[in-house]
Every structure is written in C-alpha cells, then in structure tokens.
Chains A and B, each alone.
Chain A
Amino acid sequence: MSLIKELDYGTPIRLSEDEVTLTIDGVGVSVPAGTSVMAAAMSMGTKIPKLCATDMLEPFGSCRMCLVEIEGRRGTPASCTTPAENGMIVRTQSDKLARLRKGVMELYISDHPLDCLTCSANGDCELQDMAGVVGLRDVRYGKEVANHFETDSPLALPVDTSNPYFQYDPAKCIVCNRCVRACEEVQGTFALTIEGRGFDSRVSAAGVSFLDSDCVSCGACVQACPTATLMEKTVVEHGQPEHSTVTTCAYCGVGCSFKAEMQGDKVVRMVPYKGGQANEGHSCVKGRFAWGYATHKDRITKPMIRETITDPWREVSWEEAINRAASEFKRIQNDYGREAVGAITS
C-alpha cells in the first residue's frame, strides 16, 4: 500500500460540448472549451509548475510560476488564467521561462525559513517540490533582509494554535490565497482574508484567532495549503502518513469519501477524496477532524445482540447478528404486516 496522490489539474474541470485543439510542446491535445492551458497540459501529463493553482479553486494567477510562451502573444502569460484556444501553440519550457520561474522561486525562498528537515510538511510540500523542479541552488538576496520567519523580525507573527484540529504558522505562508479562496469558494464561510498589503500581506482570520473567527473547522483551507502554514495538529505531532485507503465517512448519510491517511494501523489524518461523488473533495468538521472515536476504547467493534432491553449486550459473530436481524424483520412483518418495518438513516 502507498499514499494515494490525487492528480491536480490546476484549474477546475470545465464541461463543454465544444472542443478546442491546441499544441503544447509540439504535441496536439483537444480539451473542452474553457479549459485552461494549464489543465490542457496536465491532461496530456505535462505538469506546468504552479503554487497558487489547484483544481479545487478558480484560477487566481498570483504565483507566476506557471508562465508559458504562446506563439503570437506578447510576454509570458500565466497558463492557469489563460483559456486554451483553437490553434494555440504553447511552450511550457524555454530558457526564458526557466529563468523566470527560478527567479520567482528565489524571491519566495528569500522570505521562507530553510527548516525543511524539521518542518511538518517535509515530504508533502508544494513549495519544496517546486524549488526542486526549477533547480533553485542559490538565494542571492542574502541574510538580514525583511522577512516573516526570524523570531526577532518585526513582521514575525506567533503560530496560532487556537483551533483544536489545525495550526496556522504565518512564518511559512507564501500568500498564495488558496486558503482564503477555499474558505470562500469551497466552504462559503468567508472567515479568512489577507491582512496588510504588499510585502506585509499575510493570511488572517479577519483579525482574530482562528478559534474566535467565523471558521467552522471544515479544514478546506488546510487541505488547500501548499506548505506547512496550515497543518493538521496530528501531522505536526506524528509526521507524514505513509499509506492511505479510500473509505466512506462513518458519520451521516451523505456518504463522503475520504482518504484515511495512516501510519501502520494508526490514522494520521482524514482527507476528503476528490473522487467522492457525494463530496468532491470537501467535507465537514466531523469527518475531517472528529475521528478520534476510531481508536477510542469505548468504540464498539463487534456486533452485539440482546433479547430484551433489560438484558446485557452479548458479543456474537457477524453471521449470527445478521441472521438475527433478518429473522426478526420477517417475524415482525409476519405478525404486524409488511409495512411494520421502517428504517431511519442520517
């Protein structure tokens, strides 16, 4: 078993009866009209570097890692915000693009703590991945520059641990706005915003702690975060999971799909699964975070039956329990009519 890594097309799937055909890095590809150049590239397996884009959210165009060259167009447009068009000839790699991406990454890393080995996102960090992809080897801006991570920096903010399930570490924020947009677009709560402008910009729960904010702890922001800025406390404590299983939430009747991400037989976190048709990668606080019952000592893990309400529960085999339920349904229907049996689910 291994960790299930879901494909990220960078921008949401667009449905259209019209198809457009374009050429990306010399290869022809057809996609539904409205599809971004980034998603079109991904549909043929070409991953254009990205940080602010994810297919759970509308394109935003802020990180400037996904720049491409398009024949006949000026400059280097962002592939996430550029819709694919018929006859477009796109290059995702060139010396110039490589230079731009590396330059942008150099800027990111000039305001990022280099503590990857002890970071909770180590091994699951898009910033780390992209730094690797662009081949950044040197940050020339030097030390003693304005930053948000050194404890004595006037811009440094404390880690917000007020939410019981996840923490917010502003030192690691790359201001991609994915959390803010997830809160707006996926959850619809609008609890998050960016405070300050320019270099001072930082994610904020509208000026109060996460716990005191309008946040409903759905976890969409944590899932959207490409770094360790918003991170499940269980991952901070236990480390990254090593395998996962797709399962259905045990709570209500909606039937949300989750990836149970585990270390051995221990759940490290529950992450909503994009392939789940009931929830399409989103969930509520219960399935996302309130799974402590899974290993609770009071959890009932074997079927039990009792003859009357005054009898003690008695552990039985699954076969006996199911047979018992079936025979009782039949008995009651026999005695009181077919419609005497009903079911309630939630």
Chain B
Amino acid sequence: MADGATRLFIPRDMAALALGADGVVAAVERETAKRGLALDIVRTGSRGLLWVEPMVEVETPHGRIAYGPVSARDVADLLDADMLNGGAHSLRLGRPEDIPFLAKQQRLTFARCGVIDPFSLEDYRAHGGMAGLERAAAMDAAAIIDEVKASGLRGRGGAGFPTWIKWDTVRKADADRKYIVCNADEGDSGTFADRLLTEGDPFTLIEGMTIAGLATGASKGFIYSRSEYPQAFEALQRALAVARRRGVLGASAAGSGKPFEIEARLGAGAYICGEETSLLESLEGKRALVRAKPPIPAIKGLFGKPTLVNNVLSFAAIPWIMANGGKAYADFGMGRSLGTLPVQLAGNVKRGGLIELAFGATLRAVVEEFGGGTLSGRPVRAVQVGGPLGAYFPERMLDIPLDYEAFAAAKGLLGHGGVVVFDDSVDLAKQARFAFEFCAVESCGKCTPCRIGATRGVETMDKVIAGVQTERNLNLVRDLCEIMTDGSLCAMGGLTPVPVMSAITHFPEDFSKGSRLSVAAE
C-alpha cells in the first residue's frame, strides 16, 4: 500500500467480473502508471446495484464517490476528468449512500457488502463486525437464543420457520457431537443474495455461524456452497483461513473457551441439494436423495447427529441481532415478519440488484421504485416471487406487502426473496410448462408425484399449449397439481404447482389455445 495513496474500490464480485471488472483494474493500473499516480486498489464485493456494475468508488475527503458502469475504455477519460478527486463525468453517480436505490433501503445484513475489503478483519471490525460474536462469547447459550427469539428472525432460505426454535431444539438435543450447516446452495433462478454476501462480506456469515455454534453447543460447521459459484467458494476459503489464523475459529472460538471450526464444501450442481435433508445426504458423500421427516435434522441430521441447518441469510442476520439486540431487529418489519428481507430483483427490469428492505414494503415499490419498471419499456405483466417454485402475480396484485403471511394468503411465497419481472410479451402457459420442466430436470427421483408427475406435467402442458383437448388436459393439470402439492415428499414437488396454478388462476387467457394470438390478429 502506498502511503497516502488514493484508495479506489473495484468489486471482484461475480457479476462485476462478468461485466469486465478485472479489465477495469488492469486499465487503471496501466493508466495510473503512465501518469505516475500512486493508487491503492481495494477489491470489494458488490453493493448490489447490478445495472451500474462495474461500479468503481474513489475515496475523497468528502467520502466515497461512485462511478458506473465503468468499462476499461472509460478509465483514461475518467482519470482525465479527475475521478481520483471525485471529478464530474457522465458516469459519476455521486456518493453511493445518496443513490436513491441504496438510500431507500434498510441495510442491516448487507451493511458492509461492497463497502469493505472482504478479507480484512480490521476493515470488518471497523465497520461493526465481530461485536455480535464478542457479546455472544460472554453469554450463555440460552441467553443467545433468547436474543434470537426476540428478533423474530425466521428462516430466510424460504420456509420462514422461526429460527430460534431450530436453535433451541439443537441446543437441547443430547449428543456427543452437533453440527452447524449453512445452506449456501443458492439455486433459485433470479436469486443472488447468498452469493453477494459470501463474496462481499464472508466474515458476517462466519460470525453468524460461530454464534450459532456457541448457542447450540456444536463444535463443527459446514458451508455447502455450489460449483456455479467459484468466486464465492474461493472467498469463503480465504476468509476461513483468516478467521482460523486470527482465532475467530479454533479451539477457543473468538476467545469463548469453546471450540468451533468451519469447513466449506462444494456441491456438484443439483438444485435439490438446496433442500436441507438432500444437502445433508450430499455432505455425507451420498446420492442427494431427500430424507423423509421425522426425524428432523435438529434431532438427527448430519451423520445422524443433531444439526442446525440455516440459510446464508439467516446466519448473516445474526451478527447484527447480537450486536444491536433482538428487539432492535424486531423494530423493522410487520406482523410476524420481522427484520429485513434482502430482495433480489431480476428479469426484465431497468435496475436489477439487491434491495434489503424491512418487511412490509410492497412488491410494487420493489418493481417500480427500485426497479424502474421493465428494461424493455413495455408494461409489466407478471412478477414471479420466491424463485422457480414461487407464484406469478399479475400487475394488479403488486400492492401485496413483503410479508410471509400476506404472500401465503395470496397463494404464493416469499421464498428466498427472488423477484423476477416479465413484460407483456410473456406467455404464462409456457411459464407453467417451464415450472414442470424445471421440476422434471431437478427432481431427485425419490417420490412418485415429483419423479413421474413433473414429466407428465410437461407433456400435458404441451397438449394444452397445442390446443389438444384443452379443457380436459387443463383439468388433468389441476388434478396433477393436487397430487404433487399434497403427495410430494419435499418442497420441490410440493411447490411446483404454485407457479403452475398461479399462472392458470391469474392468467387464464393464456391457457386457451391461440386466444391471445387471435385477439392480436383481429
């Protein structure tokens, strides 16, 4: 580091890399060398404003100033415009915290993401990191869980189950070994919050899991990441090495006197491994078949031992809760959905990215205020919430609040917080077919409704789309959806009918052959 050198922040996040962030770094190094400028480049995660990635920030006496989207060929021009002192330029976005997309968010879990050097424990601490763990290390297990209970935190993986109950079940289980497992197998299409956090602020996850270890009496944790996320996995490995070296992990985790170690593992590309029991089978080195419950993993999980399985976002919410108190977290949100939800906005939308919001904000705010409507400029026709197993909502239902109960009442789900926007060119009959197809491709093949039903769903939807005995086949699809909903072993087959039935219910005009086409032709 050059003393007194200007600090430049350039993301190393997967999205930024895909958009040429490494090229920007190379161009900056080349151009500053040419000009004899001393510069300190810090590689960060992404703040989640994906439409302006690579977003480059420069540290000035007036705070950080962001520019984006920056390409390698913009660099010389930016330096000419005195970017290093926050100079004016068409790509200048101003102070990041003033950008409305960020300013209107409630960033608790993602407060540090894109801000800090992901592998600097000093930077992490300087931004409030470790305060939760240090507090937890001095508390007894039951008191930690009381704090989690007070926060009202519910599983952010999708099920929305009260987090403290799982923790308390594992704490009370009597066993010689217990495990903490982090589900980082983020497979839902349109979701990327786990990845952003893992790449941009991995210590938050490590801190959250370590607190969980202290609260449950588990001494070993596993993070199950995925092969599609090479940068995230590398980031985890680097951060874990730092955490071990600095005593956050080890024989006396964070000076608690209790041992806790974390190992990162990589999945091989099956969506079903995001289902917790299937994930445990995979972690044990077996074929990823879903297990029947009971027994629940909290009683008999990994290698037959009591195991706490939580999503990345659940663990990542914990450090803030422990540092600021469960009550402070519960002050955000509405009803029984407390705290914040990191929404991931994608699809046909002007401004896609990560939007951490207190529960209670409307879907319309997400799509219109944050997203700015469709990228194509055509009207929004449908929004799918909660990943590939979530419901398609029509534009008229966008005033639904982000709330587990409100979404359940609307026969949908918040899931992992993925929101995918479609304009009026979407054909919901084809989307219903896609739901079955996704299930057919990703089914583990254990239970009959999912194994055979998903394939029959694709075939029957093909008949509906082709106009073959439409009413009869549509009724068959409805019957099949009942069998899959009530008969499937896990949520994969059990929730596939959610997108299908929501499409049929809210967009019936797409399910009678050629009706939209013929209307258009008239």
Report which of B292, B446, B482, B486 forms a contact with A67, defined as CB distance below 8 A: B486
Please tell me if the beta carbons of A194 and B452 are within 8 angstroms of each other in the complex. no
Nearest CB to that of A196 among chain B residues? Answer: B445
A133 CA to B443 CA in the complex, in Å? 28
With an 8 A cutoff between CB atoms, is A83 at the interface? Answer: yes
Please tell me if the beta carbons of A199 and B443 are within 8 angstroms of each other in the complex. yes
A113 CA to B479 CA in the complex, in Å? 23
Name the B residues within 8 Å of A63 (CB-CB): 447-448
Q: How far is the CB of B161 from chain A (nearest CB, A)?
A: 13
A175 CA to B287 CA in the complex, in Å? 15
Nearest CB to that of A61 among chain B residues? Answer: B292
Name the B residues within 8 Å of A59 (CB-CB): 292
Q: How far is the CB of A133 from chain B (nearest CB, A)?
A: 16
Name the B residues within 8 Å of A76 (CB-CB): 486-487
Segment with Cβ contacts to B, from A100-108, A209-217, A305-313, A322-330: A100-108
Q: Which of B443-496 contact A (CB under 8 A)?
A: 443-456, 459-460, 463, 472, 476, 479-480, 482-483, 486-489
Q: Which residue, A63, A141, A196, has most C-beta atoms of chain B within 10 A?
A: A141
Name the A residues within 8 Å of B292 (CB-CB): 59-62, 78, 80-81
Please tell me if the beta carbons of B287 and A193 are within 8 angstroms of each other in the complex. yes
Please tell me if the beta carbons of A197 and B456 are within 8 angstroms of each other in the complex. no
Please tell me if the beta carbons of A61 and B449 are within 8 angstroms of each other in the complex. no
A75 CA to B479 CA in the complex, in Å? 16
Please tell me if the beta carbons of A146 and B459 are within 8 angstroms of each other in the complex. yes
Please tell me if the beta carbons of B445 and A107 are within 8 angstroms of each other in the complex. no
With an 8 A cutoff between CB atoms, is B59 at the interface? Answer: no
Name the A residues within 8 Å of B453 (CB-CB): 107
With an 8 A cutoff between CB atoms, is A200 at the interface? Answer: yes
Please tell me if the beta carbons of A107 and B452 are within 8 angstroms of each other in the complex. yes
A36 CA to B263 CA in the complex, in Å? 36
A83 CA to B486 CA in the complex, in Å? 19
A61 CA to B489 CA in the complex, in Å? 7
Report which of A83, A103, A199 forms a contact with B455, defined as CB distance below 8 A: A199
Nearest CB to that of A101 among chain B residues? Answer: B487
Q: Mark A97-129, 1 if CB is under 8 A from B, else 0.
A: 001100110011011000000000000000000
> What band does the interface of chain A fall in when counting residues whose beta carbon is under 8 Å from B?
35 or more
Please tell me if the beta carbons of A200 and B445 are within 8 angstroms of each other in the complex. yes
Q: Mark A62-94, 1 if CB is under 8 A from B, else 0.
A: 111001000000011010111100000000000
Q: How far is the CB of B290 from chain A (nearest CB, A)?
A: 9
Q: How far is the CB of A205 from chain B (nearest CB, A)?
A: 15
Name the B residues within 8 Å of A299 (CB-CB): none
With an 8 A cutoff between CB atoms, is B4 at the interface? Answer: no
With an 8 A cutoff between CB atoms, is A198 at the interface? Answer: yes
Please tell me if the beta carbons of B443 and A198 are within 8 angstroms of each other in the complex. yes
Q: Mark B9-20, 1 if CB is under 8 A from A, else 0.
A: 000000000000
Please tell me if the beta carbons of A141 and B489 are within 8 angstroms of each other in the complex. no
Please tell me if the beta carbons of A198 and B451 are within 8 angstroms of each other in the complex. yes
Q: Mark A269-280, 1 if CB is under 8 A from B, else 0.
A: 000000000000
With an 8 A cutoff between CB atoms, is B441 at the interface? Answer: yes
Nearest CB to that of A78 among chain B residues? Answer: B292
Q: How far is the CB of B68 from chain A (nearest CB, A)?
A: 41
A76 CA to B476 CA in the complex, in Å? 21
Nearest CB to that of A75 among chain B residues? Answer: B486
With an 8 A cutoff between CB atoms, is A140 at the interface? Answer: yes
Query: Interface residues, chain A, CB within 8 Å of chain B?
Result: 59-64, 67, 75-76, 78, 80-83, 96, 99-100, 103-104, 107-108, 110-111, 140-142, 145-146, 174-175, 177, 193-194, 196-201
Please name 12 further chain A to chain B contacts, defined as beta carbons within 8 Å, in addition to the given A62-B489, A75-B486, A81-B293, sorted by A numbering: A76-B486, A81-B292, A100-B482, A104-B448, A107-B448, A107-B449, A110-B452, A141-B476, A199-B443, A199-B451, A199-B452, A201-B445
5 A-B residue pairs with CB within 8 Å: A63-B448, A64-B488, A104-B448, A145-B456, A197-B272
Query: Interface residues, chain B, CB within 8 Å of chain A?
Result: 270, 272, 287, 289, 292-294, 440-456, 459-460, 463, 472, 476, 479-480, 482-483, 486-489
